[in-house]
Structure 1
Amino acid sequence: MELDGENMQNVSAHAYEEIVDLTEAFSAINPDMRVAFILMNKFTLAPVTGLVESLRFAADQSFRSLQIYCKWDWMTFNNIPVVASCGLTIQPTTDFNLENLKKNYDYIVLAGGLLSETREPPQGLLNTLQKIHKAKIPIIALCSASFVLGKAGILDQHKCAIHFTIRDEFVQRFPKVIAVIDKTYVEDRGIFTCPGGTAIDLAANLIRQHCGDVRAQKGLEYLLINGEKPPKTQENPDIDKPDTYENITVTRAITFMSKNLSAHVTLKEVAEHAQTSPRQLHRVFVANANESPASYWRRLRLEHARKLLANTSAYVTTIAIECGFSDASHFIYWFKKQYGETPFSYRKRRHEVERLN
Structure 2
Amino acid sequence: MLKPDLRVAIVLIDQFTLTPVAGFVDALRFAADRSFDSRQILCQWEWLSVTGEPVSASCGLPIAPTKRLDPDAEYDYVVLAGGLLSGVMNPEPALLDYIRRLHARKVPLVALCASYFTLGLAGILKGRRCAVHFTVQERFAALFPETQAVVDKSYIEDSGVFTCPGGSAFELAAEIIGRHCGKRRAQKSLEYLLVADEDIRRGTDNSVAHVYQDPLVHRALDYMRAHLDSHCTIRELALQVGSNERQLNRAFLANAGQPPAQFWRKLRLQEARKLLSDTSLHVTQIAYATGFSDASHFIQQFRKSYGETPHLFRKLRHNAERLQ
| 1:49–1:198 CA contact under 8 A, matched in 2 | no
| 2:69–2:98 CA contact under 8 A, matched in 1 | no
The CA distance in 1 between the partners of 2:2 and 2:196, in whole Å, is 30
CA gap 1:231/1:67 in 2 versus in 1, 3 angstroms? closer
- SS in structure 2 of the partner of residue 192 of structure 1: strand
Counterparts of 1:35-184 in structure 2, within 5 Å, are: 35-100=8-73, 104-184=74-154
Shift of 1:63: 0.4
Shift of 1:128: 1.2
TM-score scaled by structure 2? 0.61
Shift of 1:77: 1.1
- SS in structure 2 of the partner of residue 99 of structure 1: coil
The CA distance in 2 between the partners of 1:89 and 1:120, in whole Å, is 19
Shift of 1:56: 0.3
The CA distance in 2 between the partners of 1:230 and 1:146, in whole Å, is 24
Identity %: 51
TM-score scaled by structure 1? 0.56
- SS in structure 1 of the partner of residue 96 of structure 2: helix
Q: Partner letter of residue 230 of structure 1?
A: R
The CA distance in 2 between the partners of 1:45 and 1:182, in whole Å, is 22
The CA distance in 1 between the partners of 2:29 and 2:8, in whole Å, is 12
Shift of 1:231: 4.7
- Indicate whether 1:193 and 2:166 are aligned: no
Shift of 1:43: 0.1
- Structure 2 runs not aligned, ≥5 long: 205-323
What is residue 179 of structure 2 aligned with on the other side?
209
| 1:217–1:227 CA contact under 8 A, matched in 2 | no
Shift of 1:213: 1.3
Runs of 4+ aligned residues of structure 1 deviating over 3 Å after TM superposition are none
- SS in structure 2 of the partner of residue 141 of structure 1: strand
The CA distance in 2 between the partners of 1:105 and 1:44, in whole Å, is 23
The CA distance in 2 between the partners of 1:230 and 1:80, in whole Å, is 39
- SS in structure 1 of the partner of residue 80 of structure 2: strand
The CA distance in 1 between the partners of 2:185 and 2:203, in whole Å, is 20
What is residue 31 of structure 1 aligned with on the other side?
4
Shift of 1:198: 2.7
Q: Partner letter of residue 100 of structure 2?
A: Q
The CA distance in 2 between the partners of 1:227 and 1:200, in whole Å, is 13
Number of residue pairs the alignment of both structures matches: 203
Compute the RMSD of aligned alpha carbons.
Answer: 1.3
